[in-house]
Structure 1
Amino acid sequence: MNRSRALVGIGAVTVTALALAGCSAGGDAEPADLDTIEIMAPYLVTNAPEEGNEIETAVEDVVGVDLDITWVPNSSYGDKVNITLAGDDLPHVMVIQGKDPGFVRNAEAGAFWDLTDYLGDYENLATTFPEVQKASSVNGKVYGVYRARDVMREAVIIRKDWLANLGLDLPETTEDLQAIAKAFTEDDPDGNGQDDTYGIIVPKWPGTIGTNSPWDAMETWYGAGNRWTERDGELTPNFTTDEWLDAVQYERGLVEDGVVNADFATFDSANWNEPFLNGKGGIIIDVHSRAGVLINLFKESDPENFDQYVDVAGNLTGPDGELHALPTTGYSGFLAIPKAKVRTEAELRAVLEVLNDLNSAEAGPILNNGIEGVTYELEGDLAVAIDDAPQALKDTVLSYSQLGMNVTGFQGYLPKQASDYEQEMYDKRKEIEATDTESAEFDPSAPYVSPTYVSKGAQLDTIVADARIQYIAGQIDLDALKAAVELWRTSGGDDIITEINELASADS
């Protein structure tokens, strides 16, 4: 179908006024017509959506223009982005999956529109999570509309039956966690008379410090910040703080007390669920979605009693009596607008109008849930998936969800759970998210790109990360751990601190 977003009449006056207000050069921006918007996006399923599908048609009805989407397999998407940016046939909008060095170079060279001063003019693009938008920026400049993800996912997942057997409550503090882990190790929580259980299950973590490992969570709870923190007006890595040293001593104590699996430095994270399912370990510190996975596994193995095994707590209060909650970055890439395709401010405004409509309450359920009566039914405010909907259409919905921004909150319908217990746990998860988000410790360094970190970061990251594991395992002492932090500093870390603070100062 042929639609035209013609910015004429009253609409032309409004958009022109906005364009003039946002134009730093103060020039006259003529209204732009836009009848088709070209988008490049990844798909994560087997096949790309077919042209003219039901989801595309429904979205076009909302946004008022035709969508010409180039779908690229996720496995080769990064290469496709680089090839596209090097060519002369760019779309109006590109999904950018992260702030990799290539994107940063292109953005700072002027390849994408700086949207910092524009997004606030659009009701559905003016984010309600400014910390996340800031984190998605490049040195304080916003080069895309971020794709929101859950800000708060951290949870303490715990064997509900073991708590009941020992008459214990869910933990609220790091002290509670230590006490419960000790009880799970020493007090026969499964009642089999054997000394065959332990408290916290920790795997070998594939990332370094600040990648939301169980250790990172505990260090944030102790008040060390999230990857970086602010001390005396200066941004600094969390591992340079006294609170971090206190936290790793706490972690070492857990290992020394035998309440963590002895093979935590080598235990494959692919098997993380197994000790919990098999009644060997009783606590997992990870994202709350893992609780849902565990519930489903217990549902398969014990359908009559599956509601007796899993409970969750949120982030824990630290020894200072405060809640320091560990968030995610809150986003997964963003939708960026190349200047080579969108050449004028008037054209930019027209594209932003489409993205504003794409992030509306009308478009959101289409992108996130599909077509009512075809892929889902509503029960109250909850979506119930229609199981016999065509698989191709279900896959198409998953693909179009890649275009969802949700910067003012989730725009679709939340899913209705299969049982009362599962609904109770899902609702509890949402309550924990809301409460913990109020105490989120965002990484203050996230917007800033240090040149030294770009060139040396991969090597520097391992210095303290390796020493942390060695210290927790009892292989080195505290002086050796401090020496590793000093080695990080002298090997380029101090340069990173200086550069990050200079960028933050320039952005303030």
Structure 2
Amino acid sequence: MNSRRLAPLALLAAGGLLLSACSSAGGGDGDGGGSGEKLASLSIMAPYLSATPPEADDPVGEKLSELAGLDLEMQWVPNAEYGDRTNVVLAGDDIPDVMVIQQKSQGFVQTAEAGGFWDLTDYLASGDYPNLVTENEDVQQASSVNGKVFGVYRARDVVRTSISIRKDWLKNLGLEEPTNTDELMEVARAFTEDDPDGNGKDDTYGMIIPAWGATIGTGSPYDAIETWFGAGNVWKDDGGTLVPSFTTPEWKQALDYEKTLISSGYVNKDYATMDGTTGWNEPFVNGKGGIIIDVQSRAAQLAGLFKDQDPKTYDQKVALVGNIAGPNGDFALPTPGYSGFLAVPKASVQTEDQLKQVLTALDALAGKDGQVLENNGIEGDNFTVEDGYAAFDESKQDYTDVVSGAWAQIGTNVAGYVAYKPKPETAYDAELAQERLDLQEKDLEKAVFNPAGALVSKTYSTNGVQLDQVIADARIQYISGQIDESGLDAAIAQWKSSGGDQVTSEMNELYGQLG
């Protein structure tokens, strides 16, 4: 691969300079530059989450190269180091042909808008690459930068929010699964006050919430409740104008609901400090709390823990409920629907012909054969197909972990996931998996996407962390009773005067340009 250098990110931030690679590309009109030679290989930088990355002669990589029609030259980076490495690579001398970009960071956005990455909007819309045609335009828009698509997004479940509830406790108390926020409050009360486990002791509570220091829009239980109340999703379109969700009356109404849960004792007392990575399964399984608002996979985790305790009764412990109605309507909280994207730097892929080579390769990798290799491995080696599922060879689990922890990171699946799902161990596991799919389909119809998901405000890029913290602190202080309504209003006023009003102005200007 020819070595090319992108302008250092610091220079981009300071002066908004065009990239040196693009200045030689015929005026930066998108045609690229260089000799126009065909690519002989395809270098890809990607993170790995497995204990080790694939070996250079990994058989999955060899088969993916055959599919792509180009030798894949992988540059694997530990996931924990990936963000820092991305910045170093963008400022360095050797840029890969394709990069996994994990988030729309300030550096990436500035580099893209300065011309450092190919704008793929028209190429993906052409239909020439059917496996790269999105099945969800909302997600495609959200993954863009101010409406321009600079990468093929890596698809993830669009709707994952759900409620896991102790099924046996509902049965013991003669309660039905909740369908709205009032019924959820009643279940939380009953689980706290009505001895759901029948041991005659006052030793249970309703809802398990871990510490969640991040601000709105991070998938917390608070975010879900606020969406159910009609506050929107980070931003809300109010008659064509974007307003921050935390400035809506519905948001305040939702906070009062959360405050009632806490002040009534229906939530674990350590909600502000509980470890969110490991803490909230234990009280559910050990009979302390009975409700968790989180991703759907949480239910499968909990069922698995109950199975470890008693394989004969574990199917009677967990009920899975989707997004529920609030007092102002019936809404569902979606995810962004993607986890980063594959972007193509112009420093290495310099001509349109080379870009089409890359997109053709990525299209092939996104087909069924590619998805199976990236997500399952090699059929007949580490897995076989049974009843339409992947049955994995337990003796080769380490290798399967490398497949899912590394090769899956270059998978896009934007046209739909068509690889094999793991074979369920029991009929109940299959039933729970199907219930998840049914809930996703149902909740997608009422999903409230962030209308500003595609937009990148310059002020927010530089001051967003500080602004977010103002609202994060105010929310937890209000629902815990540390500040009253006037204190909450003061925090929102502080957000506005500290740059929030400028962010809102910039976002609305960009919103008007989306068309």
Q: Do Structure 1 and Structure 2 share a fold, with TM-score over 0.5?
A: yes
Matching of residue 79 in structure 1 with residue 87 in structure 2: no
1:471 Cα offset (Å)? 1.5
Partner of 1:302: 310
Partner of 1:418: 425
1:216-365 → structure 2 map (5 Å cutoff): 216-269=223-276, 270-320=278-328, 322-365=329-372
- Of 471-480 and 211-220, more deviation after overlay is shown by 471-480
Aligned counterpart in structure 2 of residue 163 of structure 1, from 148, 155, 170: 170
1:302 Cα offset (Å)? 2.0
Q: Equivalents in 2 of 1:218, 1:153: separation in Å?
A: 14
Q: Equivalents in 2 of 1:238, 1:191: separation in Å?
A: 41
Aligned counterpart in structure 1 of residue 64 of structure 2, from 54, 59, 62: 59
Relative to structure 1, the CA distance from residue 230 to residue 387 in structure 2 (aligned partners, 3 Å threshold; closer, same or farther) is: same
1:480 Cα offset (Å)? 2.0
Kindly tell me the number of residue pairs found equivalent between the two proteins.
485
Q: Equivalents in 1 of 2:261, 2:311: separation in Å?
A: 34
Amino acid at match of 1:283: I
Partner of 1:42: 47
TM-score (norm. length: structure 1)? 0.92
Partner of 1:212: 219
Relative to structure 1, the CA distance from residue 265 to residue 124 in structure 2 (aligned partners, 3 Å threshold; closer, same or farther) is: same
- Which blocks of at least 5 consecutive residues in structure 1 are unaligned? 1-22
Contact 1:48–1:396 at 8 Å: present in 2 too?
no
1:330-479 → structure 2 map (5 Å cutoff): 330-389=337-396, 391-392=398-399, 394-479=401-486
Superposed CA deviations along residues 423-477 of structure 1, whole A, max 9, x for unmatched, are 1111101111111112111111121111211222111112222121122112222
Q: Following TM superposition, where does structure 1 have runs of at least 4 consecutive aligned residues deviating by more than 6 angstroms?
A: 23-32
Contact 1:359–1:411 at 8 Å: present in 2 too?
no
Relative to structure 1, the CA distance from residue 159 to residue 499 in structure 2 (aligned partners, 3 Å threshold; closer, same or farther) is: same
Q: Equivalents in 1 of 2:422, 2:212: separation in Å?
A: 31
Partner of 2:9: none
Partner of 1:96: 101
Q: Equivalents in 1 of 2:98, 2:107: separation in Å?
A: 17
Superposed CA deviations along residues 462-499 of structure 1, whole A, max 9, x for unmatched, are 22221211221122222221222122112211111001
Q: Equivalents in 1 of 2:359, 2:391: separation in Å?
A: 32
1:68-217 → structure 2 map (5 Å cutoff): 68-121=73-126, 122-217=129-224
- Which blocks of at least 5 consecutive residues in structure 2 are unaligned? 1-27
Amino acid at match of 2:91: A
3-state SS of paired residue (2:390):
strand
Contact 1:248–1:468 at 8 Å: present in 2 too?
yes
1:28 Cα offset (Å)? 13
1:228 Cα offset (Å)? 0.9
1:411 Cα offset (Å)? 2.7
Amino acid at match of 2:150: Y
Superposed CA deviations along residues 167-196 of structure 1, whole A, max 9, x for unmatched, are 111111111101111111111111111121
Q: Equivalents in 1 of 2:476, 2:204: separation in Å?
A: 23
Contact 1:199–1:260 at 8 Å: present in 2 too?
yes
Q: Equivalents in 2 of 1:397, 1:492: separation in Å?
A: 42
Q: Equivalents in 2 of 1:54, 1:194: separation in Å?
A: 58
3-state SS of paired residue (2:163):
strand
Q: Equivalents in 2 of 1:26, 1:190: separation in Å?
A: 68
Amino acid at match of 1:281: G
Amino acid at match of 1:450: S
TM-score (norm. length: structure 2)? 0.90
Contact 2:46–2:75 at 8 Å: present in 1 too?
yes
Partner of 1:9: none
3-state SS of paired residue (1:389):
helix
Contact 1:88–1:340 at 8 Å: present in 2 too?
no
